[in-house]
Amino acid sequence: MNTMTYREACRQAIRDALLADPRCFVMGEDVGKYGGCYAVTKELLDEFGPQRIVDTPLAENGFTGAGIGAALAGLRPIVEIMTCNFSLLALDQILNNAATLSHMSGGQFAVPLVIRMATGGGRQLAAQHSHSLEGWYAHIPGLKVLAPGTVEDARHMLAAALNDPNPVLIFEHIVLYNMEGELDPVLGAVDIDRAALRRSGSDVSLISYGLGVSKCLAAAEALAKEGLSAEVLDLRVLRPLDHAAILATVAHTHRCVIVDEGWKSGSLSAEIAARLAEDALYELDAPVRRVCSREVPVPYAEHLEQAVLPQVDDIVAAARTLLRPA
């Protein structure tokens, strides 16, 4: 097994993609000379040159739209948006063009585009760099939305995304970049269709994605010490959701905690809870619980920020209420 950071896994994935396909190029703010805001594209400019690693001006709508146009006309762009808060400046292009052109044109065009962006809080970057907006994008037909929560997925999801003929958005959690993980050198690919069971258990299902997976695994460990068996489902793909996997884990444990760093109202966690209410109500032995971010803009001060974000203790407490009602 190889050990590497999530950041290095992202970097190697991009490097592989550039080596594998001359049509592939990276475009975004500070991806070149600076090496990427989160250092994911470090040194790639030296290796691939300015035609493949394209530094852009601060023009998210413009260069994201340019990525769509380049995809329409034969290239395979990897657009990097520094943080998902900035992606709102490109939302017009993502929704009105990338997600729409195939259907609206009667299937005359596909948009083989990948957009990577950093998401999430926990680094004291305050309210304009810390939000989790992947749930919004998961609302949009015509997009695929990925949230790698492991080093393995960070390493291999990009290749699958580039192979997909549709616009694929990849949300990389900023706290995960420094996470180290094991990589199986034999495993050369992952799918971008299915959720993954990261831990098996029998008493309660913890459903999450991205950084939430690590928190759920820690919570499961804590619950185990209390004699409670939790299983952890990593959604991996936020759109289209692996509906069968969600139903299957709940059918197995009959209890469910959904952990979502987005705000609770109108969130991905709400979507999953609604699906369980529609299709798995009689499998449930207890109400669905959700652990989400508090409904405020993420603040700077550490204690306030941590009070906003889902914590391992919150997950443990939520699971406990299902298993040992007061």
Partner 1 sequence: MNDKLHLDRAQLHALYRDMLRIRRFELRCVALYQAQRIRGFLHLYDGEEPVAVGVMRALQASDAVVATYREHGQALARGVPMNALMAEMLGKVQGCCHGRGGSMHVFDRERRFFGGNAIVGGGLPLAVGIAMADKRLRPGAITACFFGEGAVAEGAFHESLNLAAIWRLPVLFVCENNRYAMGVPLQDAESQTEVYRKAEAYRMASAQVDAMDPVAMAVAAHQAVAQVRTGAAPFLLECRTYRFRAHSMFDTQAYRTREEVEDWKRRDPIERLRLWMHDNHLIDADAQAAIMAEVDAEIDAAVAFAEAGTPEPVEALEDFVLMDRVVQEQAT
Pairing of strands 204-208, 230-234: parallel
Q: Does 104 bind partner 1 (CB under 8 A)?
A: yes
Residue 187 and residue 157 in contact, taking contact as beta carbons nearer than 8 Å = no
Q: What is the end-to-end Cα distance of the chain in Å, rounded?
A: 44
Q: Does 122 bind partner 1 (CB under 8 A)?
A: no
Q: Does 214 bind partner 1 (CB under 8 A)?
A: no
Residue 131: active-site member: no
Separation CA 258–CA 261 (nearest Å): 10
Q: Does 266 bind partner 1 (CB under 8 A)?
A: no
Q: Does 63 bind partner 1 (CB under 8 A)?
A: yes
Residue 103: active-site member: no
CB closer to partner 1, 87 vs 93: 93
CB closer to partner 1, 92 vs 279: 92
Q: How far is the CB of 25 from partner 1 (least distance, A)?
A: 9
DSSP E strand stretches across the chain: 2-5, 24-28, 53-55, 76-81, 114-119, 144-146, 168-173, 180-183, 196-199, 204-208, 230-234, 237-239, 256-263, 289-293
Determine which residue in the list 28, 65, 181, 212 makes contact with partner 1, applying CB under 8 A.
65
Give the footprint of partner 1 on residues 157-196 (CB under 8 A).
165-166
Q: Does 301 bind partner 1 (CB under 8 A)?
A: no
- Binding range to partner 1, per CB under 8 A, among 2-10, 105-113, 201-209, 303-311: 105-113
CB closer to partner 1, 103 vs 243: 103
Give the footprint of partner 1 on residues 23-62 (CB under 8 A).
51, 56-57, 59, 61-62
Separation CA 317–CA 290 (nearest Å): 11
Q: Does 124 bind partner 1 (CB under 8 A)?
A: no
Separation CA 266–CA 25 (nearest Å): 35
CB closer to partner 1, 61 vs 321: 61
Q: How far is the CB of 106 from partner 1 (least distance, A)?
A: 4
Helix or strand or coil: residue 150?
coil
Nearest to 179 by CA among 9, 19, 52: 9
Q: How far is the CB of 74 from partner 1 (least distance, A)?
A: 5
Q: Does 88 bind partner 1 (CB under 8 A)?
A: no
CA-based angle 106:102:173, to the nearest 5? Answer: 160
Determine which residue in the list 1, 106, 265, 303 makes contact with partner 1, applying CB under 8 A.
106
Q: Does 116 bind partner 1 (CB under 8 A)?
A: no
Helical axes 312-323 vs 211-225, angle rounded to 10°: 50
Separation CA 151–CA 148 (nearest Å): 8
CA-based angle 173:175:180, to the nearest 5? Answer: 100
Q: Does 66 bind partner 1 (CB under 8 A)?
A: yes
Determine which residue in the list 105, 178, 202, 306 makes contact with partner 1, applying CB under 8 A.
105
Determine which residue in the list 16, 30, 42, 109 makes contact with partner 1, applying CB under 8 A.
109
How far are the Cα atoms of 139, 141, 192, 224 from residue 109, in angstroms, in the given order? 22, 16, 22, 51
Q: How far is the CB of 114 from partner 1 (least distance, A)?
A: 13
Helix (H) or strand (E) holding 302: helix 302-308
Q: Does 243 bind partner 1 (CB under 8 A)?
A: no
Q: Which residues bind to partner 1, rule: CB under 8 A?
A: 51, 56-57, 59, 61-75, 77, 92-93, 96-97, 101-110, 112, 141-142, 144, 165-166
Annotated catalytic residues are: 60, 129
